[in-house]
Structure 1
Amino acid sequence: MTLNLDKSTWKRVAFGDVVRNVNETVRDLESAGIDRIIAMEHMVPGELKISRWGSAESGTTFTRRVKPRQTLFGKRRAYQRKVAYAEFDAICSGDVYTFEADEIHMLGEFLPFLVQSNEFFDHALGTSAGSLSPRTNWRDLANFEFDLPPLDEQKRIADLLWAFERHRLSLGQQSVELLATLTRSALLQFESALGPEHRIADLCESVIGGVWGSPAGENEVDVLALGPKSYAGDVIYVDPTGSPTRSISRKQAAGRILREGDIVLERSGGSFDQAVGRVLIAGPDLPDTIPTDFQRLLRPDRSLVEPAYLFWKLRLDWLTGVTRDFARRTTNISNLAVPDYIARTLIVPSRRDQLALVDRVDQLIRAVAKAEDEARALGALRGAAMSDIFGGD
């Protein structure tokens, strides 16, 4: 994307000449009418909007005031790229700078995009000091030089970039609502299903533990071994891209190499915020791929159940927190009690009704994917615009 910008009227300035690092202290939050706390964990990389915050009622040692139209920048571990635009009064962590534009020279709505630019982050990273928790200081950030457009052009640029941002947020909300609709719809269909009940274990030809194997070339068969990253991004289908190559025996391979319709169940993993028990389903034309020892392979008996029907039941269990009832925690890792989990019963309706449910779910999934594809395309367009604006001639 090219904006055909005429930068001949832009002026070279230092960041500190047009931006103030405001360090206003608030001791009495109640008198100041402040009830929100912004910590580093409330700032999401790549997200300008602050959607989460803490409550002042729970107590805090933070004293730095945040005002609307300020741009927040996480000075600790700047490589995390935490930048946010304040829309409400709050207090924030001392690890967060509160930048305020000198509006004689720079518009407040232009500032967050400058701070989000690759050029600003390159400077911040280059001036960070410390090994375990590097920080960048205001003195070094103030020396960052860039070309500043006139105010009228800043307004035009900011309007364009905020339009990108609003549309991206809208697409994200659309995806969230579609997923909520999918969950509600599928739950209702499972709950209203009519047919015989079967134990989940009995609906499977086999339930097999995964293996890690040996280094590539050391055994009889080389395969791709699924790792924890296989679940990244809330995916549905098995994608072994980036998985390590491991070596196993022919006997191990015979039962564990994934076939279309196989379900991979997470046996160990998760966290306090994320339940264990995620599932993936194998699509066609996979390279030789196996689950590893923190997973279980469930191979549905197609004479009894459609693999996708069983998959969506298990996925809904995870989405709605059912798997937490079967989790046992050791240190920071949850382990799923698989025998108990798959001993539960499931109503299995006619083949026609199973396929109808799966088809309705697929329609919603395609709608979600369309919104996500549009969001990715918008992100690429926004990135190109940012490069054109802040990346020099």
Structure 2
Amino acid sequence: MNELNCDNWTSVKLGDVAFDINDRVANPSESGYECFVGLDHLTSGDFTIRNWGSTEDVTSSMKLFKKGDILFGRRNTYLKRASMANFDGVCSGDAYVLRFNPELLVDGYLPLILNSSELWDYTNAHSAGGMSKRAKWRDLANFEFYLPSKEEQRRIADILWAAEDVIVKNEQFLAEAEHYKQLMMRELFHKGIGHTEFKEDKKVGVVPVEWEIKKLSEISSIKTGPFGAQLHQSDYVNSGTPIITVEHLGKYGITNNNLPFVSDEDKNRLFQYILKEGDIVFSRVGSVDRNCLVSKREEGWLFSGRLLRVRPNQDKITPRFLTNYFKHEDFKGYMKKVAVGGIMASINTALLSNVHIPVPSVNEQKQIAAILTQIDETIAAARETIESTKALKMKLINELLSPHLE
């Protein structure tokens, strides 16, 4: 892109270029509009709305929005949610419906303004409330920024929407790759590789005749994390040995965000809860299907009392085969079904010990794991592309929309 011409940029307020629309729909389920958008459907940084619900069960009055309007999350503003609708529908009253002023803005430029760091810094500084900070339109309308000519707006919008298009396409590819992995797991965990004869087992379904069916306790050891009497949150320190909690069981592995730590003295005291590479940690409360494989990075860390540790007997079962089986939709559905309790469902060592696992030969386990690992590597590459493109997009928003501040 050629150097931007900043000579004709003018200072304006958000209220000059956007209108707050307050049209209402009394009975959304009978209105003819099919799509309902709540704040949970909005994702930080997304220029467009990609998720929505149905109006079928929406009985109270809602705001009306039209294609091209931007829904701006006015509650919990630290989540930075502002996305454009590509369809008509209704939305929660916790969102502002903003419509661009065509006399001053080109189509597609308002979402860029509303996703800039400068706008969100201003919004959070002018939001009120305690646990759930809210923004008021009268404050947002006074946000001042520099606005280029429409010609420059179009040039900037073309660049940033091209980056958005790359993100959307990669997210679609990622979803397809994840779906393909589930299909492959269903095939591999029921038919294996190269088998022609199968048997029906009431615990695991159809599997090759040669495969054994084992209780998890027969092929691994299972241990619950330290209970409150052994470890309290007050024992946590600012540095030392990390402790993995339920919050660190991510979709794609163990995360290291905001890890708590314990001292070397406490680590020695809790030596029986030290993790090894190849262990698998399970959530035992709440989302009982959440589990992650412990990598070399996490070896020597501890796990918390709300987790269970599965340590595979690697002479009988390989960690990568077992952790992939735990990610299989059939297994996840089974865990949710057998968990005890209501809203806070839970599992324990006894329940997990009695889970039945199909066990191929170790060689076939390695072959199955290798196939799924290749898919995982494709998924990881797509995720990396998405994250790097998102970072580039935000960098460009802040650079291209505020050239006077350089």
Match of 2:372 in 1: 361
| One-letter amino acid of the counterpart of residue 281, structure 2 | V
Alignment of 1:60-71 (within 5 A): 60-71=59-70
Alpha-carbon distance in 1 for matches of 2:268, 2:62: 63
The gaps in structure 2 that reach 5 residues or longer are: 193-209
Secondary structure (helix, strand or coil) at the match of 1:333 reads coil
Describe the shift of the 1:317–1:94 C-alpha distance in structure 2 as closer, same or farther (beyond 3 A): closer
Shift of 1:388: 0.6
Alpha-carbon distance in 2 for matches of 1:166, 1:9: 29
Alignment of 1:204-353 (within 5 A): 204=220, 206-211=221-226, 213=231, 223-232=241-250, 234-236=251-253, 242-246=259-263, 247-248=265-266, 250=268, 252-253=270-271, 255-270=272-287, 276-284=288-296, 286-316=298-328, 320-329=332-341, 332-353=343-364
Match of 1:24 in 2: 23
- Given that 2:216 and 2:355 are in contact with CA atoms closer than 8 Å, whether structure 1 keeps it comes out as yes
User: Of 198, 202, 216, which residue of structure 1 is paired with 2:214?
Assistant: 198
Secondary structure (helix, strand or coil) at the match of 1:336 reads coil
- Given that 1:236 and 1:281 are in contact with CA atoms closer than 8 Å, whether structure 2 keeps it comes out as yes
Shift of 1:50: 2.0
- TM-score (norm. length: structure 2): 0.86
Alpha-carbon distance in 2 for matches of 1:76, 1:250: 45
Shift of 1:240: 8.7
Alpha-carbon distance in 1 for matches of 2:321, 2:354: 17
Alpha-carbon distance in 2 for matches of 1:70, 1:338: 52
Alpha-carbon distance in 1 for matches of 2:259, 2:62: 45
Number of equivalences = 380
Match of 1:105 in 2: 104
The gaps in structure 1 that reach 5 residues or longer are: 271-275
Secondary structure (helix, strand or coil) at the match of 1:46 reads coil
Alpha-carbon distance in 2 for matches of 1:128, 1:240: 26
Alpha-carbon distance in 1 for matches of 2:10, 2:31: 39
- Given that 2:10 and 2:148 are in contact with CA atoms closer than 8 Å, whether structure 1 keeps it comes out as yes
Cα deviation, 1:204-257, whole Å, max 9, x if unaligned, reads 1x2222115366699xxx74321122213x13357597232255475741x332
Secondary structure (helix, strand or coil) at the match of 2:295 reads coil
Match of 2:83 in 1: 84
Cα deviation, 1:9-48, whole Å, max 9, x if unaligned, reads 1111111122211222334658863232222222222223
Alignment of 1:2-81 (within 5 A): 4-27=3-26, 33-81=32-80
Shift of 1:322: 2.2
- Given that 1:238 and 1:283 are in contact with CA atoms closer than 8 Å, whether structure 2 keeps it comes out as no
Whether 1:380 and 2:383 are equivalent positions in the alignment is no
Alpha-carbon distance in 2 for matches of 1:264, 1:33: 48
Describe the shift of the 1:250–1:16 C-alpha distance in structure 2 as closer, same or farther (beyond 3 A): closer
Alpha-carbon distance in 1 for matches of 2:219, 2:255: 21
Alpha-carbon distance in 1 for matches of 2:235, 2:90: 53
Alpha-carbon distance in 2 for matches of 1:34, 1:106: 28
Match of 1:273 in 2: none
- Given that 1:20 and 1:101 are in contact with CA atoms closer than 8 Å, whether structure 2 keeps it comes out as yes
- TM-score (norm. length: structure 1): 0.88
Match of 2:207 in 1: none
Secondary structure (helix, strand or coil) at the match of 1:7 reads coil
Describe the shift of the 1:353–1:58 C-alpha distance in structure 2 as closer, same or farther (beyond 3 A): same
Secondary structure (helix, strand or coil) at the match of 2:181 reads helix
Alpha-carbon distance in 2 for matches of 1:240, 1:78: 21
Match of 1:114 in 2: 113
| One-letter amino acid of the counterpart of residue 227, structure 1 | T
Describe the shift of the 1:165–1:112 C-alpha distance in structure 2 as closer, same or farther (beyond 3 A): same
Percent of aligned positions that are identical: 24
Shift of 1:189: 0.8
Match of 1:371 in 2: 382
